A and B are shown apart, each in its own frame.
Chain A
Amino acid sequence: MNAMPDIKPGTIASELAIAMRNVTKIFGDNPKGALALLQSGKSKTEVQAETNHVVGLDKVSLDIAKGQIFVVMGLSGSGKSTLIRHVNRLIEPTSGEIVVNGVDVLKMSLDQLRTYRRTQVAMVFQKFGLMPHRSVIDNVAYGLEVRGVGKAERLETAAKWIETVGLSGYEQSRPRQLSGGQQQRVGLARALALDTEIILMDEAFSALDPLIRSGMQDQLIELQKTLGKTILFITHDFDEALKIGDRIAVLRDGAVQQVGKPEDIVLRPANEHIEEFVREVNKARAIHVRSIMDRGEYDPCVASVSKDARCEDVLPLFAEHEWVGVIDEDGRQIGRITAKQVIKALARYTPGVG
Chain B
Amino acid sequence: MFPELIDTRPLRRAIDDGLSWIVRNWGSEFEAAAYPLLMLLKAIEDLLIATPWWLIMAILAGIGWLATRNWKLPLIILLSLLFLGVMDLWKDAMTTMALMISATITAILVSIPAGVWMSRSLHVRNIVTPVLDLMQTLPSFVYLIPTVMIFGPGKIPALIATIVYAAPPLVRLTDLGLRSVDPAVMEASRAFGTNPRQRLFGVQIPLALPTILAGINQTTMMALAMVVIASMIGAGGLGYQVLQGIGRLEVSRGLFAGLGIVALAIIFDRVTQSFGKQLQGRIGLAEVR
Residues of A within 8 A of B (CB): 88, 90, 113-119, 121-123, 125, 127-133, 142-143, 146-147, 174-176, 194, 200
Contact = CB atoms under 8 A, between A and B. Distances in A.
B285 interface: yes
B191 A123 contact: yes
Contacts of B195: 114
B187 A147 contact: no
A146 B206 contact: no
A56 to B, nearest CB: 16
Contacts of A176: 284, 287
A161 B110 CA distance: 43
Max chain B Cβ within 10 angstroms of own Cβ: one of A125, A133, A143: A133
Nearest to A175: B284
B193 A129 contact: no
A291 B283 CA distance: 52
Interface in B199-220: 203, 206-207
Given A133-B206, A175-B284, A88 B194 contact: no
Contacts of A128: 184, 188
Contacts of B109: none
In the complex, which range does the number of interface residues on chain B fall in?
20 to 34
Interface of B: 182, 184-185, 187-195, 198, 203, 206-207, 282-285, 287
Given A116-B193, A146-B198, A175-B284, A129 B206 contact: no
Contacts of B285: 132
18 contacts: A90-B191, A114-B195, A115-B193, A117-B191, A117-B193, A118-B192, A121-B191, A125-B191, A130-B185, A131-B185, A132-B185, A142-B189, A143-B192, A146-B192, A146-B193, A146-B198, A175-B284, A200-B191
Contacts of A122: 191-192
Contacts of B190: 90, 117
Contacts of B203: 131
A130 B193 CA distance: 15
A190 to B, nearest CB: 8
A145 to B, nearest CB: 8
A130 B283 CA distance: 12
Given A128-B184, A129-B185, A176-B287, 7 more contacts: A90-B187, A114-B195, A117-B190, A123-B188, A146-B198, A174-B284, A194-B192
A142 B192 contact: yes
Contacts of B193: 113-119, 143, 146-147
A174 B206 CA distance: 15
A175 B184 CA distance: 14
B120 to A, nearest CB: 16
A176 B206 CA distance: 16
B145 to A, nearest CB: 46
B110 to A, nearest CB: 26
Contacts of A90: 187, 190-191
A90 B285 CA distance: 26
A156 B226 CA distance: 54
Contact of B192 (A113, A117, A127, A175): A117
A159 to B, nearest CB: 19
A170 to B, nearest CB: 15
Given A90-B187, A125-B184, A127-B184, A133 B192 contact: no
B226 to A, nearest CB: 34
Contacts of A88: 191
Given A116-B193, A142-B192, A146-B192, A132 B284 contact: yes
